[in-house]
Amino acid sequence: MNKKDLMELKRRFKKESCTISRMAGCYVDASRQKVLKLNETFLNLDEEEFYKFLDIAKKTMAGTIGNNILELDFPLDEEAVGGKQQFLYGLRASNLDNEELLDRLYDLIIDNYQYIGNYLILVFHDSYDIMSRTSDKMKLDESEEVYEYLLVSICPVALSKPGLGYRKDENRIGARIRDWVVGVPDMGFLFPAFCDSSADIHKVDYFIRDAKDSHPEFVSDVLGCGPRLTATEQKQTFHAIVKKAFGTDEEKCEKALIGVQEVLNDKIDTSEEMTDAQIASVILTNEAVEEALVEQGMDAFVAKKVSETVKETFGDDMPAIANLIDTKALEANAKIKKEQELVKEVNTLKTEIVEKDKQLSEAATYIEDLKTYDVVLRVKPDKASKIKSQILGDQKYLIIPMDANEHVNLNGVNTQI
């Protein structure tokens, strides 16, 4: 799934575009008991309920691809009879009209959704006629494919906040009656995945609201897929490895981590405007890790060992470099560097000003001293020893020997004597 696919699908969750046929669900209490089950024709819902449930469906596909929405592959054994993919395939084909299959889904979620409190499981069934398009992306009237899918949402249910309100039956202000309120989706998934405006039955699009925890146990036991880290988890994992490699000095570790990110960030060519897909295609390599670590002063042998640890941690799913960069931290560090450079420049200017003031002061003192003399001479050092005085008549003269090609500056005027 790319951003275009996501936007195309989310446009379905509007009143004028919605074609959701059925919605089933199960309300579960804090003791993991099924309190209520529902199964409704979606378009027959009361208008207010219709919009609220439609909003839940839309928010199940909210967030960033690669962080809140992960595309997961089904292993081959899960596509065999009895596998999770085959189960979801059958549930989709049932149009949510098979209570046994729905109960199996509810039980799978109840057994593996680690949440303390009440929550609501919702299952939406929809069929979307994907229109044919010409080479210039203009829609044609005929349908190219029917994308039939299930959208599952898991929403925490909590008591509304306590407060005061007007109690009409008693005509007084009193404690407001607290209700159990369905919150925004915490987790969910779309089957089959929607890729390049088409169904991919070999994949599922998995949603998590909190990208810091992808709930690998849910992915494995409910969907039957291998775990995959979100971009946030990839960043946290990589940062932890780097900081550990630089020891226990927190300040030193943070400084090294910033430096590593700056080196890696330079691997992304920002000289030209890059698309999200191009940025995501710049994948972390062992060589890039080693280079970044060595530039921060780490021994080359140790850097190689750390890069191997990174490779072992991420395996074949090496992250995009962009996922590892804390842009806010880099911007803050760049700002600090700029401020430090400005302080350095100001201090340099202050030093220069002090030096200039000193030179001017010395020059002023020299000029004042000159006023006490009747004659002031400035000659080259080798000529000073040749200057003599001589009395001619009653007058004393200074005799300065001059060569034929020598010039004299007399009171600021160049001349030959």
Q: Is the pLDDT of residue 135 over 80?
A: no
Phi, psi dihedrals of residue 30, rounded to the nearest 5° = -65, -20
**pLDDT at residue 112, as a whole number:** 95
Best-predicted range by mean pLDDT (7-21, 74-88, 361-375, 402-416): 74-88
pLDDT digits (tens, 9 = 90+) for 139-179: 555 667 899 999 999 999 999 888 888 888 888 898 888 88
CA distance 221 to 219: 6
CA distance 298 to 288: 14
**pLDDT at residue 115, as a whole number:** 92
Average pLDDT for 360-373: 75
CA distance 78 to 122: 23
Q: How confident is the model at residue 138 (pLDDT cuts 50, 70, 90)?
A: low
Q: Is the pLDDT of residue 270 over 90?
A: no
**pLDDT at residue 311, as a whole number:** 93
**Closest Cα to residue 121, out of 193, 28, 21, 51?**
28
To 5 degrees, how large is the angle CA 231–CA 121–CA 73? 40
Average pLDDT for 79-100: 94
Phi, psi dihedrals of residue 207, rounded to the nearest 5° = -115, 135
**Residue with the larger pLDDT of the pair 406 and 192:** 192
**pLDDT at residue 35, as a whole number:** 95
pLDDT digits (tens, 9 = 90+) for 276-326: 777 778 899 999 999 999 999 999 999 999 999 999 999 888 999 999 999
In contact, 43 and 53? CB cutoff 8 Å: no
pLDDT digits (tens, 9 = 90+) for 206-246: 999 999 999 999 999 999 999 899 999 999 999 999 999 99
Cα 17 off chain centre by: 32
Rounded to the nearest integer, the mean pLDDT of the chain is 88
Q: Is the pLDDT of residue 247 over 90?
A: no
In this structure, the strands spanning 198-200 and 172-175 are unpaired
Q: Give Cβ neighbours of residue 308 (< 8 Å, ≥ 6 apart).
A: 286
Q: How confident is the model at residue 269 (pLDDT cuts 50, 70, 90)?
A: low
Q: How confident is the model at residue 134 (pLDDT cuts 50, 70, 90)?
A: low
Average pLDDT for 34-43: 94
**Cβ-defined contacts of 331-335 (< 8 Å, 24+):** 333/258, 333/262
In this structure, the strands spanning 408-410 and 413-415 are antiparallel
**pLDDT at residue 416, as a whole number:** 66
**pLDDT at residue 271, as a whole number:** 53
Average pLDDT for 119-134: 86
